[in-house]
Structure 1
């Protein structure tokens, strides 16, 4: 079971239901712990193997301009290491694009879950903090691999954010920040090597490295939960072979005064199609799309 590399015996729980509360799990010594090490990330940093488009350096909520560590789409030798030494947290996104073990693991997890995902490596120097309070639009599976990190979490400000809808940067207010700064968290999790934290989308967090001597390194597997809307869109896509859905619509039928009637016609056509759609006959095609087996 691919998820067991992240969650150990608790992997089955993530397959049965979408999480609604944070949960801390202890995983067994897995291939993930053996293959993905801080030394491996140091190699990527020091040999300039990273893609600047997927790299960020942040300290206490402030990100540095990419020009401080990259130029013309390439890493500037030694600059990212210097930022880490100065106390910046490094966010190395989309590692599954360049690390073979993570590429294979993510492909297997997508096949297992039907979810798309990506992996970020987060390296925080002793006593450091990267991003401040924020929430994610995905289920975060946080695997601590080296050092220690404290994760205070607060209850969601919004319900079930996704992609660009109810996302943290757009919804943030000073009132929210003041409240997080002055209220105790809902819970606080202390992660060390071998620990995995599952954080449902929307839960506010502000992790930091409280250890004054040890660098913290964890991977965040960003699992994009499939939603009812996803399956509704997949069902709509089954209409493509039908000619009436490929027919063009004239500009006159898109005017402000004519569009309502045009939409009523489309709704009737759509309702007729969905009423005749056999879920069993569509399931294989839709599942293939979810797992990436279709083109």
Structure 2
């Protein structure tokens, strides 16, 4: 099986999910039962609570959101530091606390992410989200990454709608820039395409662009804790850029371009010359000869 050696990825989605993800980029959401993995033993509600209460996260990567509205960062931070107790107050008042880039703060997650990056060739980050019982943080939106959502404590409902845009990325078709009131009205007035209720041990794999509005269920006594592992899938453009970068060995690609050739009136001709140069290089370059160089650019070295 293709996923037999991908133990880190299997920690999130189990062997079956790993096999599926490595063979094809997912196009529809799916839930996998990972069981009691090391992730569930290492990342617990008390641990994340300690990070919140003791200010162990970066305010720049911290948010408190209630019913789609984010609290101003000044309510929980000052001068680049978290204000003691303020995040806990917001949580007790119904805000979801979102701790982004946890892999830069939690050693276990740093190691896990390095291993997954080495297994997949994708880059990634991790967000930890704690939602009070019966509450909701963000409302309808979509992500610009492949989201692997691991439920660790409590229960959370995930209603999903079909994508509004195809294959969004951070700098193109992002949810905050594309959202419209018409979209919101449509989501409010139509039933979701599918609904998942995630419990501890469940992992939702959600492709880029799928609209979601997760929330805790009324009457559930426990808060919800989940981690979102944001995997940035490699695109054809990534391979093309890495392939062109192999031309760095050629002196003609390293020569400078005079400023006059970059002016508005001259740039089209300069681009034409550059295009001709690149096409000639690619036409005479064997993919087999540069494959190792491209792979080294895309796959980080394994930890250790």
TM-score bucket (shorter structure):
over 0.9
Give the 3-state SS of the residue equivalent to 2:8 in structure 1: coil
Q: Check whether the contact 1:54–1:93 (CA below 8 A) recurs between aligned residues.
A: yes
- Name the CA distance, whole Å, in 2 between partners of 1:38 and 1:280: 48
- Name the CA distance, whole Å, in 2 between partners of 1:131 and 1:116: 24
Give the 3-state SS of the residue equivalent to 2:117 in structure 1: helix
Name the TM-score, length of structure 1 as normaliser.
0.97
Q: List aligned pairs for 1:197-208, cutoff 5 A.
A: 197-208=204-215
List gaps (5 residues or longer) in structure 1. Answer: none
- Name the CA distance, whole Å, in 2 between partners of 1:143 and 1:150: 13
* 1:40 equivalenced with 2:53 (yes/no): no
Show the counterpart of 1:258.
266
Show the counterpart of 1:270.
278
- Name the CA distance, whole Å, in 2 between partners of 1:219 and 1:252: 51
- Name the CA distance, whole Å, in 1 between partners of 2:146 and 2:218: 26
- Name the CA distance, whole Å, in 2 between partners of 1:263 and 1:77: 55
Q: How many residues end up aligned between the 2 structures?
A: 294
* 1:155 equivalenced with 2:127 (yes/no): no
Q: Check whether the contact 1:146–1:192 (CA below 8 A) recurs between aligned residues.
A: yes
Q: Check whether the contact 2:35–2:202 (CA below 8 A) recurs between aligned residues.
A: no
* 1:122 equivalenced with 2:132 (yes/no): no
Q: List aligned pairs for 1:181-260, cutoff 5 A.
A: 181-212=188-219, 213-260=221-268
Give the 3-state SS of the residue equivalent to 2:14 in structure 1: helix
Listed one character per residue, the Cα deviations across residues 7-55 of structure 1 (whole Å, up to 9, x for unaligned) are 0122111100000000011112100011011111011111111110110
Show the counterpart of 2:107.
100
- Name the CA distance, whole Å, in 2 between partners of 1:211 and 1:8: 30
Cα RMSD between the aligned structures? Answer: 1.2
List gaps (5 residues or longer) in structure 2. Answer: 1-6
State the Cα distance separating 1:268 from its structure 2 match: 1.0
Q: Check whether the contact 1:148–1:211 (CA below 8 A) recurs between aligned residues.
A: no
Listed one character per residue, the Cα deviations across residues 51-82 of structure 1 (whole Å, up to 9, x for unaligned) are 10110000000001111111111110000000
The one of 8, 11, 31 aligned to 2:38: 31
- Name the CA distance, whole Å, in 2 between partners of 1:251 and 1:45: 51
- Name the CA distance, whole Å, in 1 between partners of 2:269 and 2:276: 11
Show the counterpart of 1:8.
14
- Name the CA distance, whole Å, in 2 between partners of 1:22 and 1:54: 27
- Name the CA distance, whole Å, in 2 between partners of 1:59 and 1:174: 19
Listed one character per residue, the Cα deviations across residues 186-234 of structure 1 (whole Å, up to 9, x for unaligned) are 1010100000001000000000001431100000000000000000000
Name the TM-score, length of structure 2 as normaliser.
0.94
Deviates more, 1:246-255 or 1:137-146: 246-255
- Name the CA distance, whole Å, in 2 between partners of 1:53 and 1:259: 39
Show the counterpart of 1:286.
294
- Name the CA distance, whole Å, in 2 between partners of 1:165 and 1:101: 32
